[in-house]
């Protein structure tokens, strides 16, 4: 099966890359109050990339949704636990409000993006009729 699919993986990796750059910009200034002037636009761009990826993914005709959701739902569960533990550390360390909100949004993107990428990576090679 060699059909053309939209660039879901590339958009997902772009989302992770922009989020990672924003997180590095923020954490490099901690414990001082980090400037969010560049991190927030990077976060918005990452969110837009993820939104485009989800829209393109939903529009793929004849996709193996059974396999996608089988993989993505368990990965999502794991990544929600991971993001929750990291969020707990942020709250426990008294991260300031705007920084906490920005980092929380990055964690949400991370917790959605990676399971989507894992589910897509499996389902793109699966037979749609088998799911």
pLDDT in tens, 52-97: 999 999 999 989 999 999 999 999 999 999 999 999 999 998 888 8
pLDDT of residue 118: 97
Residue 124, helix vs strand vs coil? coil
Per-residue pLDDT reduced to its tens digit, 45-58: 999 999 999 999 99
Residue 52, CB-side half-sphere exposure with 13 Å CA sphere: 16
Torsion sign (Cα): 87, 89, 90, 94: positive
DSSP, res 41: H
Q: How far is CA 29 from CA 35, 39, 86, in A?
A: 8, 12, 18
**What pTM, to 2 d.p., does this model score?**
0.90
Instruction: Kindly list the domain boundaries of the chain, sorted by start residue.
Output: 8-130
């Amino acid at each position: 099966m060699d059909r053309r699919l939209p660039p879901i993986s590339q958009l997902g990796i772009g989302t992770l890359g922009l989020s990672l750059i924003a997180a590095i910009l923020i954490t490099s200034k901690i414990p001082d109050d980090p400037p969010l002037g560049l991190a927030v636009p990077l976060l918005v761009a990452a969110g837009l990339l993820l939104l485009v990826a989800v829209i393109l993914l939903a529009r793929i005709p004849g996709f193996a949704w059974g396999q996608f959701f089988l993989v993505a739902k368990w990965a999502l569960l794991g990544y929600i636990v991971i993001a929750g533990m990291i969020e707990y550390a942020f709250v426990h360390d008294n991260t300031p409000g705007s920084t906490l909100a920005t980092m929380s949004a990055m964690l949400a993107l991370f917790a959605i993006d990676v399971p989507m990428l894992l589910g897509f990576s499996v389902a793109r090679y699966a037979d749609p009729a088998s799911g």
